Amino acid sequence: MNHLGQTLVHQNAQFLKENKLRLVALSFVAATLFSVSLPLGSTLASRNRGLTNHNNIVSATETRHALGTTGVLSDSDQIVTKTDADSAAVTNINGSTVDIPKDATQGVTFGAEGQTLDIQLPNANTAALAKQAAPGITTYDSGNGSANAIQPTEDGGIRMLTIIDNPNAPTSYDYKVSVPKGGRIELSPDGGATIFNRKQKPIAAVATPWAKDATGKAVRAHFTTDGRTLTQHVQHDVPGVVYPVSADPFWIAFSGAIFWYAVKICVKGVAFNVVVSYVGGQRSRQALQGAAAAGCLANILGGWSKVRWMMYIYKVL
């Protein structure tokens, strides 16, 4: 572990030690709220199960209700998109451009700083034309019990979700990427993936995949690659899975603008935690340093995955 990592670990340990009673109290409150929310969550999940007919057609309405159990819908209405003759949605956020086609066979165009990728969606050849499932979310029914749902995000990334509506739907979903000549897709140690250009520099990354069923229970998911196609495997056809299942490969392109966005949310976390520590009476230098480090890490790891943050550091340094 480098000096920066050791310092952060020490500061967080000091912060936790000095705020032990406060954290215990917060944990008790959180546990109480969680126990109260369980019946409500079960009720909502039960209602959601009634909003799908489990056939081979996954409508925009079914997609919207499926994504309602994942929490991703709350960010959709924050994204401003535009359309044109060929595009269902186009965004440009933090230097990252996303172009979502009306016809799925045209592929999603995605990239930053002049390094653009074309990503072919799973089952594009059988997909229906694009529809809006919710503000900021474009969906394509695949006609085989699954659908693609595309969502640009406020940090300049893009979610390429798959909605799986019944056990007869595919368990593997191919994303064919226009990898630059001499470049490659490589799996990351944490299960995500990185796309390199011919100079072996990362130009985009894909976070560790996840999948959830209609009750919010995790479903096994992982990636494989041949260097040019990223395949997501979702093990949904097992006992106990409640349909529909939502699976999420999250993609992010690297750019200076996105790096500074990460710095901004880190600073917000620092400011918030330092104020809370100071007002709470923890005003020593060590306490404020620990609060600052914890605030930055909470925002980075809460709003951003480890993969994305570490790849930004790798690219800039």
72 and 22 in a single domain? The answer is: no
196 and 166 in a single domain? The answer is: yes
How many independent structural domains does the chain possess? 2
Q: What is the mean pLDDT of residues 99-109?
A: 94
Residue 66, pLDDT > 80, answer yes
Label residue 82 by pLDDT band (50, 70, 90).
Answer: confident
pLDDT digits (tens, 9 = 90+) for 114-154: 678 899 999 999 999 999 998 889 999 999 999 999 998 87
* pLDDT at 223 (0 to 100): 97
In a domain, 51, yes or no: no
Residues 6+ apart with CB under 8 A from 81: 89, 90, 91, 136, 152
Q: Which domain holds residue 85?
A: 56-254
284 and 155 in a single domain? The answer is: no
65 and 164 in a single domain? The answer is: yes
pLDDT digits (tens, 9 = 90+) for 11-60: 444 544 454 444 444 444 444 434 444 444 444 343 344 456 778 899 99
Q: Which helix (H) or strand (E) holds 305?
A: none
- 298, 304 contact by CB (below 8 A): no
Highest mean pLDDT pick, 53-62, 149-158, 169-178, 303-312 = 169-178
No. of H helices and E strands in the chain? 6, 17
How far apart (Å, rounded) are the C-alpha atoms in residues 269 and 260?
A: 14
- How remote is the C-alpha of 19 from its chain's centroid? 31
In a domain, 46, yes or no: no
**Number of residues that make up the chain:** 317
270 and 172 in a single domain? The answer is: no
In a domain, 297, yes or no: yes
**How far lies 52's CA from each of 207, 265, 290, in Å?**
28, 38, 48
208 and 274 in a single domain? The answer is: no
Q: Among the three residues 204, 221, 254, which one is the final residue of a domain in this structure?
A: 254
158 and 129 in a single domain? The answer is: yes
In a domain, 40, yes or no: no
Q: Among the three residues 236, 254, 272, which one is the final residue of a domain in this structure?
A: 254
Percent of the chain past pLDDT 70, that is, above it, reads: 62
In a domain, 17, yes or no: yes
122 and 151 in a single domain? The answer is: yes
- The sign of the CA dihedral 101, 303, 147, 144 is positive
How far apart (Å, rounded) are the C-alpha atoms in residues 46 and 68?
A: 12
How far apart (Å, rounded) are the C-alpha atoms in residues 308 and 265?
A: 14
207 and 293 in a single domain? The answer is: no
- 78, 154 contact by CB (below 8 A): yes
Q: Is the pTM of this model over 0.85?
A: no
110 and 147 in a single domain? The answer is: yes
- 124, 107 contact by CB (below 8 A): yes
* pLDDT at 95 (0 to 100): 72
166 and 297 in a single domain? The answer is: no
